[in-house]
Chains A and B, each alone.
Chain A
């Protein structure tokens, strides 16, 4: 059974640019969640999608957005990049019911210069 796949693994972008990250969940999982991990703040929840609908959103500015496709694959977009957006972005997939286990991808390391 294939795991969660995130692409690309590494990205370097310039301030002001925008970026799109991709996540393919485990087959059969309909929920995809996105997290930002930084040394200072740890893992912080961005948003969660289930069957193409955003069900939950964390406390991040509107520059951070996402979507989910009918095949459960998800993308997140960050516009007008800032230096502080440099982080490991992780996605997790699950069946999307309470207390269900979440499985993470390897993450995308974004560096903003």
Chain B
């Protein structure tokens, strides 16, 4: 099983701040997905990145896939309280998804 490490594990910021969370692996992934999960709910897919060097934007969220397809980052601009949640990255491994342990983000007013 390919290990995915996410950092930081926890992040507490105020509304309006910018932040970046990271997802790193020593292995190459054919694709990588980012999810956000709220307490007691299932993860909700945010984006899938496939091509090395790819950058995708989703409103205030910017996702980047590393050139070597071993790492990815998620940047949030001007965070809002509604961004609070657990951010998970997952690499495709056969017909399964291999998840990192996530970054728990708290955005306070």
List A residues at the B interface (Cβ < 8 Å): 4, 6, 31, 33, 35, 41-45, 48, 50, 55-56, 58-59, 88, 90, 92, 96, 98-99, 101-107, 109
Contacts and interface: CB of A to CB of B under 8 A. Distances in A.
A107 B38 CA distance: 12
A30 to B, nearest CB: 11
Interface string B34-69: 010000111111001010000000000000000000
B101 A90 contact: no
A43 B101 CA distance: 7
A13 to B, nearest CB: 19
Given A43-B43, A109-B40, 20 more contacts: A33-B97, A42-B101, A42-B102, A43-B99, A48-B95, A48-B96, A50-B95, A55-B94, A55-B95, A56-B94, A90-B43, A92-B42, A99-B30, A99-B48, A101-B45, A102-B33, A103-B45, A104-B44, A106-B40, A107-B40
Interface residues of B, number: 25
A75 B10 CA distance: 34
Given A42-B102, A48-B95, A98-B92, A4 B42 contact: yes
B98 interface: yes
Nearest to A97: B95
Given A43-B88, A99-B50, A107 B42 contact: yes
Given A4-B42, A109-B40, A42 B95 contact: no
Contact of B30 (A6, A90, A98, A105): A98
B73 interface: no
